[in-house]
Amino acid sequence: MQAPQKDQEYYPQNSQPTRTWMHLSKHHKAALATGLVGMFSMVAAFGLPTPSANDSQLQQRTILEDLTLHIDKPIFDEGHNFFREERIQKGDTVSSLLHRLNILDAATLNFIRQHPTTQVIFKQLAPGKLVSAKISSNGELHSLHFPLNGKDTHLVVEKRNTTFHIEERRLETQVLTEIHSGEIRTSLFGATDAAGIPDGIATQLAEIFSGDIDFYRDLRKGDRFSLIYEMHYSQGQSVRSGRILAAEFINNGQPFRAVLFPPPGSTSNSTGGYYTPEGKNLRKAFLRSPLEFSRITSGFSNARLHPILNQWRAHRGVDYGAPTGTRVRATADGIVDFSGRQGGYGNLVVLRHNGRYSTAYGHLNAFASGIRPGARIKQGDTIGYVGATGWATGPHLHYEFRINGEQVNPLAAALPPAPSLDNNQLTHFRRHASSTLSQLDLVSSATAQIAME
């Protein structure tokens, strides 16, 4: 995700300091202005700070400028060393990056090229990443700070006299809340990329609504979504995405909403679960699909011409086409009943679930680590990888849904619901969800207004 640009805004939340950015057009922002003036003297719709120890250190202020800490000119310390920082540009090499940082000594470049620990720098030269350095007036390195992907840490390379030292240090991060909206034109990831939303958030969005929406078959051009989610920042640069706090997805005119609700008494970092505004659990006992994104190549049928046997036979499952190695996830909590090779199924995993349900996953290329009879599996866990073992003409997953041992159509079967909130939890949920849903209402209505124009 790119750092916030100058047309992105910063809103204070009354006496509570907070920062949040909106990747919305100027026209969209104008539509929001009226609601902000009248409504947010009481409720700050775009201020949802995540509680953290760093909150007390933030200063309440309003700015309409680039929030990224960027050193346009060198800043000198008392020893006449100076600090520089540069964003990695498309096509950059380690050599060109060091040159822009004004690191001129050849010993540093040779060390980074040769040392095993610094090879991660070559692998993670991602455009937009902010790299900083402390340098002497003659271009000799004192320290280089390189953020590492997927971690709240950075790799620090220091030169002390003529000796280099390397260590991984933890970044001081702030958790900020962001509000974004988008519209489907081609695909979910195409829409989230256009809105500046990280892939990790897009994947969460698909998982949250996976029980109601098949994100391969059900998406329509013009579908819209609005999101409130966390991002972890360090020195003005996004480090990683956090949790979705609330979401709305309008699929073919039908709205679906979700609010994250950590259990009462849990810490702020607890994952919690997602519920509808009425408190209904969005987590289904079974996922609709064992693959995150795929296509159905053969449906459940009582008579199908078998591609290998060339005979008309029943097809008691659903085939999902996907590249070899695509991860296959358990559609529900369960216990491994069978894992191994079995006739035309090839490599097969069978999971036994509560009550009379079981699921089967065939033609696997390989099993995930720890998949053996008796192993306990959670919904969404990886149990294997798509392949073409057994009677298969190409890589795909054969998925079966069984009730009392008999295969039924998983796309048509009435699936058991997951438990909802009890009365006590529902009271806590309504109190927790009230302000979040108000914010979602505002951005959703503004998005709909723009879509109609």
Give the residue from 170, 204, 235 where a domain finishes: 170
- Which secondary structure element, helix H or strand E, spans residue 303, and what is its range? strand 301-305
Q: Which domain holds residue 86?
A: 75-170
Given pLDDT bands bounded at 50, 70 and 90, which one contains residue 447? low
The predicted pLDDT at position 58 comes to 32
More confident site: 452 or 241: 241
Both tokens of residue 412? 């048509």
Closest CA to 326 of 429, 399, 218: 399
191-203 per-position pLDDT tens digit: 998 898 988 899 8
Statement to judge: residues 206 and 227 lie in one domain: yes
Statement to judge: residues 86 and 98 lie in one domain: yes
The predicted pLDDT at position 310 comes to 56
Statement to judge: residues 88 and 154 lie in one domain: yes
Statement to judge: residues 300 and 327 lie in one domain: yes
Residue linked to tokens 């509560």: 354
* Averaged pLDDT for residues 148-166: 86
Residue linked to tokens 């929030």: 67
* Averaged pLDDT for residues 168-193: 89
Give the residue from 147, 170, 193 where a domain finishes: 170
For residues 399 and 290, what is the distance between their CA atoms, to the nearest angstrom?
Answer: 8
The predicted pLDDT at position 450 comes to 66
Question: Which residue(s) pair with 401 in the sheet?
Answer: 359, 408
Is the torsion defined by CA of 153, 159, 160, 164 positive or negative?
positive
pLDDT over 70 at 277, yes or no:
yes
Statement to judge: residues 279 and 306 lie in one domain: no
The predicted pLDDT at position 45 comes to 31
The mean of the pLDDT values for the chain is 76
pLDDT over 70 at 406, yes or no:
yes
Given pLDDT bands bounded at 50, 70 and 90, which one contains residue 349? very high
In DSSP notation, 63-126 reads --S--S---SS-EE-TTS-EEEEEE--TT--HHHHHHHTT---HHHHHHHHH-GGGHHHHHT--
Does residue 20 sit within a domain?
A: no
The predicted pLDDT at position 439 comes to 87
Statement to judge: residues 303 and 322 lie in one domain: yes
pLDDT over 70 at 270, yes or no:
no
Distances (CA, A) of 35 to 10, 30, 224, 311: 16, 10, 20, 65
Give the residue from 137, 170, 203 where a domain finishes: 170
Classify burial at 256, counting beta carbons within 10 Å of its beta carbon; exposed 0-12, middle 13-18, buried 19 or more.
middle
Q: Residue count of the chain, please give it.
A: 453
In DSSP notation, 83-98 reads EEEEE--TT--HHHHH
A 10 A CB-CB count for 414 gives 6
79-115 per-position pLDDT tens digit: 567 888 888 888 899 999 999 998 988 899 999 999 9
201-215, 314-328, 359-373, 408-422, range with the lowest pLDDT: 408-422
The predicted pLDDT at position 19 comes to 33
302-311, 323-332, 382-391, range with the lowest pLDDT: 302-311
* Averaged pLDDT for residues 309-315: 55
The predicted pLDDT at position 452 comes to 64
241-245, 336-340, 421-425, range with the lowest pLDDT: 421-425
Statement to judge: residues 340 and 361 lie in one domain: yes
Total domains present in the chain: 3
The predicted pLDDT at position 35 comes to 38
User: Are 386 and 395 in contact, with CB atoms under 8 Å apart?
Assistant: yes
Domain of 106: which CATH number?
Answer: 3.10.450.350
Q: Above pLDDT 70, what percent of the chain?
A: 73
Statement to judge: residues 348 and 392 lie in one domain: yes
Is the torsion defined by CA of 89, 95, 98, 104 positive or negative?
negative
More confident site: 333 or 217: 333
Q: Above pLDDT 90, what percent of the chain?
A: 33
Statement to judge: residues 200 and 114 lie in one domain: no
Given pLDDT bands bounded at 50, 70 and 90, which one contains residue 178? very high
